[in-house]
């Protein structure tokens, strides 16, 4: 708990100026102590933040995880000290003065940029500019979706974002603004720190957009205010709140580093300590005659009172929450609780058994759609979508309805051709809680989503990326659309599972894994082309759960192990059959998820991989394959970009065939074809 303070009736209430100056002083002191950080933004936006927190923000410092709290996202993450100061001042548990003194130090709750999970009240990991804005679109969407399902008593809050010039210069901002405007996310309010300064100097060096006109063009309600005039800011926020069918932009004209006598208004305050002399001058100028990190009791008391001012609203909400049916209660907190998890497992078993029996040739994107048909009704929090490739990705099922502007009864989002915006919004949907988002595009365009995918992984959120057309197997669209290095690039990222199923049965298993993995995002890589069903013998066990398993065992002692993923597993199976016919004992390992396999114990890994020479097959570059193939192993895959042609021809052209696998296997084993 933050240090307890007794309410003292005799203490005078602090003024707005005192309260804002407390933020400024803590920011400049913490940055000075760390000898690193960004004092300018917190000092400039202290007035706006004070107005927001003291007059509008619905939150309860002692219950920072209140599902119906207003969200406050610091998209300009470099201004982290603004957020840390607010969390400390309002009394969020464990955000102590000591934590502020340990700003930017190892294991503190106050890292250099806000990191989700390091302290309650940090709604998103921010720092890569523009991402927080994209997340906020997802949060505001989540709020409306859940409001539609659970009603005003349970879900009724706003999402506020603090964004700087940098956030608005980033390309992702356009996707976010455009999507929010289209969907009429009226509960989204952006407070733009319009200080006209970035790192290189005045923003006029590089940008001359009229932000007001830009937002207006996307259907936003807009306002322009003096960010140091509390009444003007308050009026603008009140107006923004009442513009319920439009998201709002409030451009707050501020002075960066406000209060620093010589440096305010300049880029010098952006990202460096002000220095002892300048801080002394700032104390004078602001009238803040207190020692570093000292917040006088009346000011702290006033802030703490803000931290608890919504206690009654919280209690009211709790009472309403208790009246909710048990399933609804559970799913708001955990959309995939044990009950849902059990239902998913049962549905996946049935799907697998049906797939095995039917033995129909399907593209894994089609299998995925069939799996979703069964899972959507089981997981009420599942919100699907695609970046304008719905039909190709197979992400929409017959049971889903479309989320429309102002109508949030649906459960499928047409994100438009906004892959980056979709990924950032999905992070926001997941961060909000109550929702499990999945969204599709082509695997090659994972590059367009990558900064947000990385944040899904950094934050450890269950976001499911349905990435179809996962190799040259997509055929005629050619090399611009054919991923070759994307699997390796995604596998290089920590804390993400790249799942590449080989057939319908593995596809069902991979969906179970993606949905069941709470603190890790998943990429589900799926084919455009149809694949034979390989898992003809039904098993209740999810074989993909260990990342790799022996699909075809050699009859005797293994001569060679063929390891493949996704669409290339069937080539390995065909090759193994031929080789076995020639007396070469070939085994096939299907490896749908490297990351899960890497997490298995050595005994299991050794048993699966065996000691025989290995051949790896994947229609992608060999980067990373050495790990599984060992020094003697040989890789069959892509060595450059693809080409435009029917997919069968491409596989032949690039030498990714069963015959090629057989040839290298014979060479490895030293048994030439008779
Ligand atoms: C994607 C991304 N690119 C670059 C940076 C490095 N960076 C951090 S802050 C900043 C300038 C931001 O300017 P502004 O938003 O105006 O912030 P202010 O100077 O007002 O604090 C830059 C380029 C970053 N954090 N993220």
Residue range 223-278, pLDDT digits in tens: 999 999 999 999 999 999 999 899 999 999 999 999 999 999 999 999 999 999 99
> Of 293, 288, 298, 291, nearest to 5 (Cα)?
298
Does the CB atom of residue 254 touch ligand 1 within 6 A?
no
Q: Position of tokens 């976010």?
A: 176
Report residue 480 CA to chain centroid gap: 26
Residue 113 Cβ inside 6 Å of ligand 1? The answer reads: no
**What per-residue confidence (pLDDT) applies to 674?**
73
Is 41 a pocket residue for ligand 1 (Cβ < 6 Å)?
yes
Residue 164 alpha carbon to ligand 1 centre in Å: 8
Contact 519, 459 (CB under 8 A): no
Atom nearest to 196 CA in ligand 1: 16
**Alpha helix segments (H runs only) across 552-673:** 569-581, 594-598, 602-609, 626-629, 647-653, 658-669
Beta strands, E only, 337-485: 362-363, 382-386, 412-414, 436-442, 464-468
Ligand 1 close to Cβ of residue 108 (< 6 A):
no
The confidence band for 10, taking pLDDT boundaries of 50, 70 and 90, is low
Residue 206 CB burial class (10 angstroms; 0-12, 13-18, ≥19): exposed
List of E strands, 231-296: 248-253
Distances (CA, A) of 170 to 116, 418, 658: 22, 14, 46
Residue with tokens 């603008």: 236
Find out whether the beta carbon of 205 lies less than 6 Å from any atom of ligand 1: no
What gap in Å lies between CA 46 and CA 89, rounded to an integer? 13
Q: What is the DSSP string of 524-559?
A: EE--SSEE-----S--SS-GGGGS-EEEE--SSS-S
Q: What is the pLDDT of residue 342?
A: 98
pLDDT tens readout for residues 122-149: 999 999 999 999 999 999 999 999 999 9
Tell me the CA–centroid distance for residue 174 and ligand 1, in Å.
16
Is the C-beta atom of 642 inside 6 A of ligand 1? no
Catalytic residue among 123, 278, 419, 512: 419
Whether 28 contacts 43, CB under 8 Å: yes
- Residue 256 Cα to ligand 1 midpoint, Å, equals 13
Index of the ligand 1 atom closest to the CA of residue 44: 20
Q: What is the dihedral of CA 179, 182, 184, 189, to 10 degrees?
A: 40
Task: Report the nearest atom of ligand 1 relative to the CA of 193.
Answer: 20
Q: Cα(95)–Cα(629) distance, rounded to whole angstroms?
A: 48
- Both structure tokens of 490: 């995604």
CA dihedral 119, 120, 123, 124 (to 10 degrees): 20
CA of 65 to the centre of ligand 1 (A): 29
Ligand 1 atom with the smallest distance to the CA of 79 is 21
What is the residue with the minimal CA distance to atom 11 of ligand 1? 198
Cβ of 166 below 6 Å from ligand 1: yes
For residue 8, pLDDT over 90 is answered with no
Radius of gyration of the chain (CA): 28
Do residues 283 and 25 lie in contact, with contact meaning Cβ atoms separated by under 8 Å? yes
Which residue is listed with tokens 């931290």? 307
Could you confirm whether 476 is annotated as catalytic? no
> Which atom of ligand 1 lies closest to the CA of 41?
21
Percent of the chain residues past pLDDT 90, beyond the cut: 97
pLDDT digits (tens, 9 = 90+) for 607-626: 999 999 999 999 999 999 99
Task: Give the residue from 167, 48, 150, 238 showing the smallest Cα distance to 432.
Answer: 150
Is the pLDDT at 7 greater than 80? The verdict is no
**Adjacent-strand bridge partners of 222:** 249
Residue 74 sits at φ, ψ, to 5 deg, of -90, 85
Give the per-residue pLDDT at 1: 36
User: Can you give the pLDDT at residue 673?
Assistant: 84
Q: What are phi and psi of 280, to 5 degrees?
A: -60, -45
Pocket test for ligand 1, best of 129, 171, 274 (most atoms within 8 A of CB): 129
Round to whole Å and give the CA distance between 333 and 320. 15
Residue 505 Cβ inside 6 Å of ligand 1? The answer reads no
- How far is Cα 260 from Cα 279, in angstroms, rounded to an integer? 7
Ligand 1 in reach of 199 Cβ (< 6 A): yes
Buried b (16+ CB within 10 A) or exposed e, 605-638: beebbbebbbbbbbbbbbebbeebbeeebbbbbb
Encode pLDDT of 264-280 as tens digits: 999 999 999 999 999 99
Residue 198 CA to ligand 1 center (angstroms) comes to: 6
Tokens of 413: 């989002």
Separation CA 556–CA 233 (nearest Å): 78
Q: What is the pTM of this model?
A: 0.97
- Quick one: tokens of 440? 């599709």
- Using a 6 Å cutoff on CB, does residue 440 contact ligand 1? no
Mean pLDDT of the chain: 97
Residues 25 and 290 sit within 8 Å (Cβ to Cβ): yes
Ligand 1 proximity of 194 Cβ (cutoff 6 Å)? no
Q: How far is the CA of 86 from the centre of ligand 1 (A)?
A: 21
Q: How many angstroms does the Cα of residue 199 sit away from the middle of ligand 1? A: 7
Cβ atoms within 10 Å, residue 331: 25
């Amino acid at each position: 708990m933050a240090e307890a303070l007794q309410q003292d009736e005799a203490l005078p209430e602090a003024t707005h100026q005192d309260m804002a100056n407390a933020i400024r002083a803590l920011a400049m002191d913490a940055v000075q102590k760390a000898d690193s950080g960004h004092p300018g933004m917190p000092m400039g936006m202290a007035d706006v933040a004070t107005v927001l927190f003291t007059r509008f923000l619905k939150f309860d410092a002692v219950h920072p995880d209140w599902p119906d709290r207003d969200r406050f996202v610091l998209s300009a993450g470099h201004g982290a000290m603004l957020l840390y100061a607010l969390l400390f001042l309002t009394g969020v548990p464990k955000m102590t003065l000591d934590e502020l003194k340990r700003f930017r130090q190892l294991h503190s709750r106050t890292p250099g940029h806000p990191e989700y999970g390091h302290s309650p009240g940090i709604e998103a990991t921010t720092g890569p500019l523009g991402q927080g804005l994209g997340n906020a679109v997802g949060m505001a969407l989540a709020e409306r979706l859940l409001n539609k399902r659970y009603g005003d008593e349970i879900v009724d809050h706003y999402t506020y974002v603090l964004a700087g010039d940098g956030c608005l210069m980033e390309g992702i901002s356009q996707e976010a603004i455009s999507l929010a405007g289209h969907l009429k996310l009226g509960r989204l309010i952006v407070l733009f720190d319009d200080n006209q300064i970035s790192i290189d100097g005045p923003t006029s060096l590089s940008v001359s957009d009229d932000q007001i006109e830009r937002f207006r063009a996307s259907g936003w309600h807009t306002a322009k205010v003096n960010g140091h005039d509390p009444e003007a800011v308050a009026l603008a926020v009140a107006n923004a709140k009442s513009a319920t069918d439009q998201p709002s932009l409030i451009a707050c004209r501020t002075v960066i580093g406000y209060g620093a006598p010589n440096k305010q208004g300049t880029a010098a305050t952006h990202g460096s300590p002000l220095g002892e002399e300048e801080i002394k001058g700032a104390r004078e100028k602001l009238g803040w005659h207190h020692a570093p990190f000292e917040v006088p009791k009346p000011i702290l008391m006033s802030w703490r009172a803000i931290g608890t001012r919504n206690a009654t609203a919280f209690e009211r909400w709790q009472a309403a929450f208790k009246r909710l049916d048990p399933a609804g209660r559970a799913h708001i907190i955990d959309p995939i609780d044990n009950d849902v998890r059990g239902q998913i497992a049962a549905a996946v078993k049935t799907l697998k058994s049906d797939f095995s029996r039917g033995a129909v040739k399907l593209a894994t994107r089609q299998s995925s759609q069939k799996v979703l048909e069964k899972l959507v009704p089981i997981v009420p929090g599942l919100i699907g979508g695609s970046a304008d490739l719905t039909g190709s990705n197979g992400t929409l099922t017959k049971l889903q309805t479309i989320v429309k502007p102002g109508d949030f009864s649906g459960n499928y989002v047409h994100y438009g051709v906004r892959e980056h915006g979709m990924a950032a919004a999905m992070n926001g949907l997941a961060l909000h809680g109550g929702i499990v988002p999945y969204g599709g595009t082509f695997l090659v365009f994972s590059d367009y989503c990558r900064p947000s995918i990385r944040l899904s992984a950094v934050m450890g959120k269950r976001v499911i990326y349905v990435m179809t057309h996962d190799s040259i197997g997509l055929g005629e669209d050619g090399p611009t659309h054919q991923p070759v290095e994307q699997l390796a690039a995604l596998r290089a990222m920590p804390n993400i599972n790249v799942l590449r199923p080989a057939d319908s049965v593995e596809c069902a298993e991979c969906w179970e894994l993606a949905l069941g993995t709470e603190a890790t995002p998943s990429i589900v890589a799926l084919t455009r082309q149809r694949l034979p069903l390989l898992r003809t013998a039904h098993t209740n066990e999810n074989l993909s759960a260990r990342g790799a398993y022996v699909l075809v065992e050699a009859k005797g002692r293994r001569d060679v192990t063929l390891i493949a993923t996704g669409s290339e597993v069937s080539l390995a199976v065909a090759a193994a059959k031929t080789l076995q016919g020639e007396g070469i004992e070939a085994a096939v390992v299907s490896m749908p998820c490297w990351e899960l396999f890497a997490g298995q114990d050595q005994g299991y890994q050794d048993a699966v991989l065996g000691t025989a020479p290995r051949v790896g097959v994947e229609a992608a570059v060999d980067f990373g394959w050495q790990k599984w193939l060992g020094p003697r192993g040989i890789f069959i895959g892509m060595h450059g970009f693809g080409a435009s042609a029917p997919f069968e021809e491409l596989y032949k052209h690039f030498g990714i065939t069963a015959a090629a696998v057989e040839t290298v296997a014979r060479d490895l084993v030293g048994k030439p074809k008779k």
